[in-house]
């Protein structure tokens, strides 16, 4: 292989890597757009809820959570009675016996979040405490579920985990509390530290300009990937332009080859690397 052929092969791989990177950026931008739209709708709903119910909003949301928990408790109890499985019955009794604590923690967390929105200077220092309390209660519930499973199945490993969590539950609370305050302090420090100025470097006109056409001037008809009719790499569109047929036909053949022989994806990637870009098309 001479130097020209080596350079052409290298350029094909560089083009392939560049297009894969561009495709990844487009997918990332689309994901951010969808996520931003969902977040915006959630904020609008949250704003409407806060504006409508005000200070009783946390109470209403906690009561709604209590109703959902009550439905879950009833479902576990119903399954336990119908199947005679003691695990479902014991888990149902566990939630039922501690429903007041769960409701109280839900109220505490909801009102702390509400106060944090109204007076963030005061209530932000309480957020790690309420969050640690909520996580500790959830961890304790999980430990007791492990205890029920371990006693029913007589698995010593699960019993050991449940016993360890119950013995160290206070230590877990202070651990969650420490992590919460560390995160809060780190966020405060990151907000106060000024970001370094971004230097605006001039755009290189040689990079932004279109690559010069290097098409062979011979009468041989060359096969290129299409930059006008492409979904991924323009392979099917380029083959269709070479054969002067509808690209949908090529795409149908590719789908059939993928479903029947399972080689369509691998073949597409190989052709994506081997077939050069059409120099007369715009590639971005």
pLDDT band per the 50, 70, 90 thresholds, residue 8:
confident
Closest CA to 271 of 244, 250, 246: 250
Q: Which residue has the higher pLDDT, 200 or 153?
A: 153
| Paired tokens of 148 | 């029920």
pLDDT tens, position by position, 217-252: 456 778 888 887 777 778 888 888 888 888 888 888
Give the confidence band of 180 by pLDDT, cuts at 50, 70, 90: confident
Surface-to-core class of residue 134, CB atoms within 10 Å of its CB (0-12 exposed, 13-18 middle, 19+ buried):
middle
For the chain, give the percent of residues with pLDDT over 70: 78
Reported confidence tier of residue 132, pLDDT bands at 50, 70, 90: confident
pLDDT band at 197 (very low <50, low <70, confident <90, very high): low
Token pair belonging to 186: 């780190």
Q: Of the candidates 135, 72, 134, which has an alpha carbon nearest to the alpha carbon of residue 103?
A: 134
What's the confidence (pLDDT) of residue 276?
84
Q: Which of 59-63, 114-118, 140-144, 256-260 has the least mean pLDDT?
A: 256-260
Confidence of residue 53 (pLDDT cuts 50, 70, 90): confident
Tokens of 172: 């877990």
> Each residue of 67-87: pLDDT tens digit?
998 999 999 899 988 888 888
Sign of CA dihedral 31, 32, 38, 42: positive
* CA 160-156-142 angle, 5° bins: 50
């Amino acid at each position: 292989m001479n130097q020209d052929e080596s350079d052409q092969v290298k350029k094909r791989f560089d083009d392939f890597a560049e297009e894969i990177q561009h495709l990844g950026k487009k997918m990332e931008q689309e994901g951010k757009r969808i996520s931003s739209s969902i977040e915006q709708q959630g904020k609008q709903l949250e704003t409407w809820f806060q504006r409508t119910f005000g200070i009783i909003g946390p109470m209403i949301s906690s009561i709604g959570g209590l109703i959902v928990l009550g439905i879950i408790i009833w479902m576990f109890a119903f399954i336990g009675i119908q199947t005679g499985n003691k695990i479902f019955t014991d888990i149902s009794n566990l939630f039922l016996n501690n429903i007041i604590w769960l409701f109280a923690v839900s109220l505490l967390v909801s009102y702390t979040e509400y106060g944090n929105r109204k007076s963030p200077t005061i209530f932000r220092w309480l957020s790690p405490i309420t969050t640690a309390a909520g996580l500790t209660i959830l961890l304790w519930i999980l430990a007791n579920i492990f205890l029920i499973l371990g006693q029913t199945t007589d698995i010593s490993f699960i019993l050991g985990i449940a016993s360890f969590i119950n013995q160290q539950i206070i230590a877990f609370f202070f651990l969650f509390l420490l992590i919460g305050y560390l995160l809060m302090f780190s966020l405060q420090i990151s907000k106060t530290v000024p970001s370094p100025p971004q230097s605006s470097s001039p755009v290189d006109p040689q990079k932004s300009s279109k690559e010069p056409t290097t098409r062979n001037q011979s009468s041989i008809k060359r096969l290129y990937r299409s930059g006008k009719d492409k979904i991924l790499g323009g392979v099917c569109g380029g083959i269709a332009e070479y054969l002067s047929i509808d690209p949908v036909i090529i795409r149908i053949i590719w789908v059939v080859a993928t479903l029947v022989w399972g080689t369509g994806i691998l073949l597409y990637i190989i052709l994506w690397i081997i077939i050069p870009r059409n120099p007369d098309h715009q590639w971005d």
